[in-house]
Structure 1
Amino acid sequence: MAQPNGDCDFSPMLISLKQDLKQVSLKLDHIVNEFDQEHRCFLGEFQRIAMMITDVQTRAATYYLSCYLSPYTSKYADLATSVRNLADRHHGALLVVERNDPLDAHLQGGTSIKAEINPALLESIFYPGNPLHDGAVLIRTDRIISAKNILPLSRNLELPAKRGTRHRAAVGLSELSDAIVLVVSEETGDASFAIKGELYPLYIH
């Protein structure tokens, strides 16, 4: 993953994540030391460790996404709220956050919005049946610049086949720029974000 830009000092969160990872490591060491004992089943322990790792991954994804977004928009908390609500409702969405690289040359067919970011507006744009819900929203600093933007699709053959057009569009733009692209799957309600040609799951539920 690309390194976060800007000042991103959330020391208490990092300390907490490190402590939880140490607990996972201790539990795994215990299982390794006891694993060859007969009549001992560790399935319950595996399940608890998996839950711990998922929790760590959840908070780590939030941390890194905040690091990537905070230097470029003060509304990153509103963006996270919108993505969570859209995912809960299975409303497909693409949100492009412009960073250093200008994006106009990579976008097609956008409809001008030019409004301050707020969750209600973003969620209404992606409401099924809204004429603007297809395509991507372009966000620049704290404003929604346009909606219904068409993004270049990635030609990366290594992307899983289950990834649809939204995910390929998210990755495609991130291959050509330093933009962060948030994507919500209409089919699964899963959220993720693309950066530098890579797609990362975003655990926000």
Structure 2
Amino acid sequence: MLEGYNTVTNIKNHIAFHLEQIIEEAETMRSSIEDKDYCLLCELAHIKEQFNEIQTSASFFYLKTYIADFTQNYIDIAKAIQNLSERRHGALIIVERNNPVDSLLQGGIQLNANLSNRLIESIFFPGNPLHDGALHIKGDYIVSAANVLPLTTQNFGNEKVGTRHRAAIGLSELIDALVLVVSEETGRMSFALDGTLYPISTAKDSIH
């Protein structure tokens, strides 16, 4: 989906392309709206897909930007969540930024280990005693695992939001940490920042 879109220029070009597509389709909709055979709902659905593509592109780019400032091993984190996503191994990963998160975490097991994608993946392997909580990353170290996070009290209506996602949003509402989530059910990746959840591309080449 985002192969090769790793620079500011390419990301902007990618987004601009989809915006142009939306403008063209919106103009077609406006001029065809009186045509009784014209499928307005079909076109609206396609425009929604274009907006989703734009959001995903921007989210992946900004994810890298947010992480790179706080750990030199952000590629290891990206590789880990990509591999976990492909295997549908659920994961919850905190990347500490400016403000310490320790006071908001409960029940964690101290690790103080060097950060690597293989270690992250092994921690979230099903059956591992540490897999059922949040991993805490600070700088280039995995500080702790199996942490319990505060859950958001947001009302999502009929939308199904799992515990990991509620925990990610909940912590990001209270502090500037970035919290990554991999869904165990779907394998979809996302990250929470400032109380909002953003989707991440699932294209493997996008992390290189």
Report the TM-score range of the alignment, normalised by the length of the smaller protein: 0.7 to 0.9
Equivalent AA in structure 2 for residue 18 of structure 1? A
Which of 62, 86, 97 is 1:88 aligned to? Answer: 86
Query: What is the CA deviation profile of residues 167-187 of structure 1, one whole-angstrom value per residue up to 9, with x for unaligned ones?
Result: 121112112111001111212
Structure 2: unaligned runs, 5 residues or longer:
1-6, 204-208
Matches within 5 A, 1:81-120: 81-120=79-118
Which SS does the other structure have where 1:134 is aligned? coil
Which piece of structure 1 moves more, 134-143 or 72-81? 72-81
**What residue number does 1:183 align with?**
181
Range that drifts further, 53-62 or 42-51: 42-51
- In the TM superposition, residue 37 of structure 1 has moved relative to its aligned partner by 2.4
Q: Among all aligned residue pairs of Structure 1 and Structure 2, give the percentage whose two residues are the same amino acid.
A: 45
The answer as to whether partners of 2:56 and 2:199 remain within 8 angstroms in 1 is no
Q: Counterpart amino acid of 1:34?
A: S
Query: Hey, what does 1:33 align to over in structure 2?
Result: 31
The 8 Å contact of residues 91 and 186 in structure 1, kept in 2 or not, is answered as: yes
Using the size of structure 2 for normalisation, the TM-score is 0.83
Q: Distance in 1 between matches of 2:45 and 2:159?
A: 28
Q: 1:116 offset after TM fit, Å?
A: 2.5
* Count of residue pairs the alignment pairs up: 197
Using the alignment, how far apart are the partners of 1:90 and 1:159 within structure 2? 26
2:22 is the alignment partner of 1:24 = yes
| CA RMSD in angstroms, aligned pairs only | 2.3
What letter is aligned with 1:61?
Answer: S
User: How big is the shift at 1:57?
Assistant: 2.6
Distance 1:58 1:23 in 2: 16
Q: Does structure 2 retain, via aligned residues, the 8 Å contact 1:20–1:56?
A: yes
Is the 8 Å Cα contact of residues 57 and 203 (structure 1) preserved in structure 2?
Answer: no
Q: Is the 8 A contact 1:58 1:204 kept in 2?
A: no
